[in-house]
Structure 1
Amino acid sequence: MVRRQPLQNIVALKRKGLLTEQQVLAAHRFSKNPNAFVVAPTLYRVLHDAILRDEPLETMEKRRGWPARSAKAIVGLILHALQEMQGSHEEAGEDDASARETVAFLMADDARDLIPLMERFGFTQREARLFRILERSAGNCIGKETLLARLYADRPLDTPDQKILDVFVCKIRKKLDGAPCRIETEHGVGYRLVKLQAPGERDLSWYVQHVYEGKSFREIAAASGVHASTVMRSVNRTAETQDPEALDQAARVLRGGHHQWL
């Protein structure tokens, strides 16, 4: 069974110019918290099938005995009613800006948000969207199925194989040269974006002395007035938690007398 993407009916109707932005926002809010809306049971069931189940509208028409191509008008009318009922329900903790951001993403209308990434890193639009998805959930692993659904939310009926994610991630990693973040792979699951914090000046100094100048942990510790184990942990932690290329670049700058995390 082919899994349909979130709000597929709503996205399709909006692309055909049959729904306004406010109606799409109402559909999104209903999908997040359907019980917050007070509507007649019959109308609720229509929205439940069209939004939560994402039942194809043609199937809905046949099952309910409606005339062909009538479902889109009925769904649009009910969403218009929800839009007018803003004062009769409670939101599910999502502010208007967040809701609009989600809708923009589903409609692939977030190009303006991606342009700075495309200009800075040389990403394609699809690469920039994937990076932004990972960035918004930085530190958390996102499964490949979820990534693919969100990345191609603008073309749910023409979604490529999951292997395309591996290709995109490989290209993105190359373009993130020197950036204070990296993409980690959790094999068999998905990817996570890790934002790197600039190492402290002391940590970077110890790293440079050990890696570039060949000093032992004991030598560095003696000069700094600490235990050798403290230096060892610092150097190992710095090496393990920082992007190698960005770290080496910062180390070169430090050796040149201008400590700066780039």
Structure 2
Amino acid sequence: MRSGVSTTAGVDRLAGLELENALLRERISVLEAALRDPAPVPRCLGLTAAQGRLFGVLMAREIASREQLELALYGDRPGDLPCEKNLLVHLCHMRRKLDAFAVALVCQRECGWFFTPAGKATLRALLAREQAEAALCRTQ
């Protein structure tokens, strides 16, 4: 009799763990999609698609870790991460493009990268201006 109880409890526990696993996989899927979904990027910056994904992560967070940025770039290719320097190269090229607009992309050692509040304000203003110009063109 006792073995029947433990078997039932074990089956219930397994079913609970499988349900929890399914829910966690769904949450991961939603979070990964949120990281990969492109944020609006001011066209005047001339960013590549990869740089645009990094831009979206950096605009959405106070500070973005290496893992978050790599997930945005390579999350659709698990287990296929390129050389660790690739992220740094993307950020370097992006930094050069942002310098023309006086926007700083800052690296905080051991934490990650971020735009300064003033830089984010400048980027939002550029985006708002482009959106206003596009709306004006649609009404003409």
Q: TM-score, normalised by structure 1?
A: 0.34
Q: Please tell me whether residue 136 in structure 1 is matched to residue 57 in structure 2.
A: no
Residue number among 35, 38, 48 corresponding to 1:124 in the alignment? 48
Specify the alignment match of 2:130 in structure 1. Answer: none
How many pairs are equivalent?
Answer: 106
Q: Secondary structure at the match of 2:75?
A: coil
Find out whether 1:187 has 2:109 as its counterpart: yes
Give the SS at the match of 1:156. coil
Structure of greater Rg:
1
Unaligned residue ranges in structure 2 (runs of 5+): 1-11, 120-140
Alignment RMSD: 3.1
Residues 32, 71 of structure 2: 8 Å contact kept: no
Change (3 A) 1:131 1:194: same
Letter of the 1:152 partner, please give it: Y
2:15 aligned residue = 43
- Change over 3 Å in CA distance of 1:155–1:167 after alignment to 2: same
| Amino acid of the structure 2 residue aligned with 1:131 | F
- The answer to whether structure 1 residue 166 and structure 2 residue 138 are counterparts is no
Aligned equivalents of 2:23, 2:81: Cα separation in 1 = 20
Do the aligned partners of residues 187 and 104 (structure 1) sit closer, same or farther apart at CA in structure 2, a change above 3 Å counting?
closer
| Cα deviation 1:55-112 (Å, max 9, x = unaligned) | xxxxxxxxxxxxxxxxxxxxxxxx8xxxxxxxxxxxxxxxxxxx96x46335x4x24x
Aligned-residue sequence identity (percent) comes to: 29
Residue in structure 1 matching 2:68, options 138, 142, 146 = 146
Distance in 1 (alpha carbons) for counterparts of 2:108 and 2:53: 20
The CA distance in 1 between the partners of 2:22 and 2:81, in whole Å, is: 21
Structure with greater helix share of residues: 2
Paired residues of 1:180 and 1:195 also in contact (CA < 8 A): no
Map 1:17-28; keep pairs closer than 5 Å: none
Q: Is the 8 A contact 1:144 1:162 kept in 2?
A: no
Q: How is 1:1-262 mapped onto 2 (pairs within 5 angstroms)?
A: 41-49=13-21, 52=24, 102=31, 104-105=33-34, 108=36, 110-111=37-38, 113=39, 116-117=40-41, 119-138=43-62, 140=63, 142-179=64-101, 181-196=103-118
Deviating beyond 2 angstroms after TM superposition, the runs of 4 or more aligned structure 1 residues are 40-44, 47-52, 102-106, 177-181, 187-190
- Give the distance between the partners of 1:171 and 1:149, measured in 2 at CA: 19
Gaps of 5+ in 1: 1-39, 55-78, 80-98, 198-262
Q: C-alpha separation between the residues in 1 aligned to 2:90 and 2:19?
A: 36
